[in-house]
Amino acid sequence: MAQKSEIEWTDATWNPVTGCTKVGPGCDNCYAERFAERWRGVAGHPYEQGFDLRLWPSRLEQPVRWREPRMIFVNSMSDLFHKEIARTFIDRVFDVMERADWHVFQVLTKRSSLMRNYVRARYDGEPVPRHIWLGVSVENSAHVKRISHLKDVNSEARFISFEPLLGNVGEVDLSRIAWAIVGGESGPNARPMEEDWAVWIKHLCDRDGVEFFFKQWGGPRPKSNGRLLEGEEWNGFPWQIVPAPILERLTM
């Protein structure tokens, strides 16, 4: 399934894999699981299997058919580095991303060590192609180790999603990170985000030269409480790492 995205920091989603399993408190109220499980057992629906892991080889070529450059969030409904996804299938996803180099692909994972190991093996010390952005999700201080795994990959385009932000991340070195996205949890059981947690990450970004994007406060719905932090919108974006075709489209 590929579609225009309502996520503020991307243009489209591409899901060659759907379904996942939980690896931390950030997964407790997973929006993707909540959506997918609504359709479990509905014959013929893409989520007939609910949120069980499923590979979709038929979707692999979708980005190649999109001729207009766009920002593409890879596996918004899964995690490409889930331990049950065969390396050979991950290879096929990366093959497509490398071929469709007029897009920017945003790959976000909580399985940061598996991503690091895969990328090191695939590129053997060479840099990751600049149009493939690699990111990790960090929900609190207990999971900041994912950031060090991210720094272990040879890439200019590293990003972090602090969403849902469930606690203060503490003293973290964000140098060599291009972009940080912060957001509160949304949905019927959303846990509140404290302002100090978000302001602290903004301080870290200012200190370490990282673009800062404040996505939402969250609540029952994503837009419930707006996106003003300290009375302002923060729409930082790492323009310096955007390849020329995307840059031209975004700045027209």
Q: Are 109 and 81 in contact (CB under 8 A)?
A: yes
pLDDT of residue 202: 98
List, for residues 111-140, the tens digit of each pLDDT value: 999 999 999 999 998 999 999 999 999 999
CA 40 to chain centre: 25
List, for residues 171-211, the tens digit of each pLDDT value: 999 999 999 999 999 999 999 999 999 999 999 999 999 99
pLDDT of residue 1: 44
List, for residues 140-173, the tens digit of each pLDDT value: 999 999 999 999 999 999 999 999 999 999 999 9
Q: Which residues pair with 133 in a beta bridge?
A: 106
Residue 207: strand, helix, or coil = helix
Q: Which residues pair with 136 in a beta bridge?
A: 109, 160
Mean pLDDT of 244-249: 78
Mean pLDDT of 25-40: 97
Give the list of residues 6+ apart from residue 17 with CB closer than 8 angstroms, or none: 53, 54, 55, 56, 75, 77, 78, 79, 80, 82, 85, 89, 93
pLDDT of residue 252: 62
